Amino acid sequence: MDENRLKSIVLKLTQLGYRVTPDAFDIIRGIDPSVLEDNLDRIRDMARDGWITKEVLEKMIGGSRSDRVEVSVSTTTMQQVIESRVEIVRDPYREVEKGVTIQHFYKLFVDRFDKLSKLIRMHSGWNTATSIEAALKARQGEDVKVIGMVMEKKITKRYIGILLEDLDSTVKVIVPFDDPELKAKGEQILVDQVIGVAGVRGRMDTIIAKEIVFPDIPPRKPRKADEEVYAALISDLHVGSKLFLRDRFEKFIRWIKGDVYIEGLDRIRSKLKYIVVAGDIVDGVGIYPNQERELEIKDTYGQYDAALRMIKEIPSSIEIVIIPGNHDATDKTQPQPPPMKYVKDYIDGCENIHIVGNPVWVKIHGIEILVYHGRSLDSVIASIPGFSANRVDEAMEVLIRARHLTPIYNDSSPITPTSIDTLIIDEIPDIFHAGHVHIEKQRYYKGVLIVNSGAWQAQTSYQKLNGITPTPAIIPIIDLSRLSVKLVDFS
């Protein structure tokens, strides 16, 4: 609020014999002056002891709907003072060629090997790695160092056996369990990922590993926004499902608009500028057997109508980035294009809503976010001993170390055959945001803020069967100037 206008309102209140407490000033600053002026009588009624307190103003904001003041004022203020800065840096579905053939799969894996082995060679001492063929020519007991793609992984009682291949040869790598650190690293190796192995030449065309290297990222200092501004990271609405928690999602929207007051969050709300949605906006139709029994809205169009109607209620001053998930109406192979044209048509004219593909690299207020729905997390979690959905943040860290969003090639996380591997994490983001698992988790890894944004759907029968307890309606809101997380519970 303009300081002169603030002064004139406070002066007016003072002339009327009222005094304003310091904490009430902060609230007054976030409210449109005209709203305050229109409600002076109500404020005076509530402040009978002569003091305009924080509680009095909160009571004014939180009044009944019929007589509520226009409380979307904070966002109106925000729209005036916070500039929109959204840049789609990379939307990989756009890199997919037309007319793909089976040959493209071969090219894709060669490209993956080529790019990720180059990243491993950048690690200190790894530019001397040889081909597998050369390593196999070494004498037994001699030191060797190779880079390859994992064809098979087998965990036994005493070691992990890896079948590693490069462009010409294969070799069996034994990861012994006598070194706990090496064992832990070995357990996190994923089939189809590219790794470096240093060890000694063993018997019968084997290498006994002494060191394992992932492409990984170097430690880095994340970028930070040059002003205090917030982004809410959400995902997995599943609109259309009987289990979609409509009342909680509507509460979230009402909070953004100012219709719901939450203690201690008004400053964040007034500076909330971005919402990033990591897929599964709707529950879809025919996604899994007998899904229709669990659907409240049984057609895709109706589901998107309901979802977008709610999303369009969000003030236009807030920039919204939406990617699809495996439940959305688009190709299921990754990278996924945006949801069907109907969705784009529905939001036609809403310039603050950006519908893009999955994954996407997007820069908001100078902070780069890699947004990925997270379908590959299922197979990553299933592949690593001791991992579960509750450790989804660690599984996301595994993806960063692998420098790949879908390291394991299998049916549950299909990829589009392309001559370049578009799912490599080439550009290191400041924030890595995913969903899919329906469990809210965050952690920092080498300067990257990892966030899984949970869901807005209650526990499904599938999740119950698999012992997954979702954390719906708890959302991480990121202060982009500090890269810190505030969890807000809308349940």
**Residue ranges that bind Fe ion, judged by CB under 5 A:** 236, 280
Tracing tokens 């499902």 back to the chain, one arrives at 241
Whether residue 203 contacts residue 188, with contact meaning beta carbons closer than 8 Å, is answered with no
Q: How far is the CB of 414 from Fe ion (least distance, A)?
A: 16
Kindly calculate the radius of gyration of the chain based on its CA atoms and give it in whole angstroms: 27
In the complex with Fe ion, the residue whose CB is nearer, 280 or 430, is: 280
In the complex with Fe ion, the residue whose CB is nearer, 18 or 244, is: 244
Which whole-number Å values give the CA distances from 407 to 151, 400, 404, 414, in the listed order?
12, 10, 5, 11
Instruction: Provide the H-helix boundaries in 221-376.
Output: 246-257, 266-270, 300-311, 341-346
What distance lies between CA 89 and its chain's CA centroid? 16
- Across the strands, what pairs with 474? 489
Q: How far is the CB of 236 from Fe ion (least distance, A)?
A: 4
Q: How far is the CB of 296 from Fe ion (least distance, A)?
A: 16
Q: How far is the CB of 346 from Fe ion (least distance, A)?
A: 21
In the complex with Fe ion, the residue whose CB is nearer, 280 or 393, is: 280
Q: How far is the CB of 325 from Fe ion (least distance, A)?
A: 6
In the complex with Fe ion, the residue whose CB is nearer, 116 or 276, is: 276
Phi (first) and psi of residue 264, to 5 degrees: 80, 0
Alpha-carbon span 474 to 252, nearest angstrom: 10
DSSP state of 71: T
What distance lies between CA 62 and its chain's CA centroid? 32
Q: How far is the CB of 471 from Fe ion (least distance, A)?
A: 13
In the complex with Fe ion, the residue whose CB is nearer, 236 or 266, is: 236
Q: How far is the CB of 82 from Fe ion (least distance, A)?
A: 30
Alpha-carbon span 35 to 41, nearest angstrom: 11
Q: How far is the CB of 291 from Fe ion (least distance, A)?
A: 13
The type of residue at 419 is: S
Q: How far is the CB of 131 from Fe ion (least distance, A)?
A: 42
In the sheet with 474-479, reading across from the earlier edge strand, the strands are: 353-355, 319-323, 272-278, 230-234, 474-479, 484-489
In the complex with Fe ion, the residue whose CB is nearer, 109 or 372, is: 372
In the complex with Fe ion, the residue whose CB is nearer, 117 or 457, is: 457
Alpha-carbon span 389 to 466, nearest angstrom: 10
Encoding tokens for residue 117? 């082995």
In the complex with Fe ion, the residue whose CB is nearer, 146 or 234, is: 234
Q: Is the peptide bond before 324 cis (omega within 30 degrees of 0)?
A: no
Exposure of 238 in the CB half-sphere (CA atoms within 13 A):
25
In the complex with Fe ion, the residue whose CB is nearer, 197 or 343, is: 343
The torsion of the CA quartet 179, 185, 186, 192, rounded to 10 degrees, works out to: -160
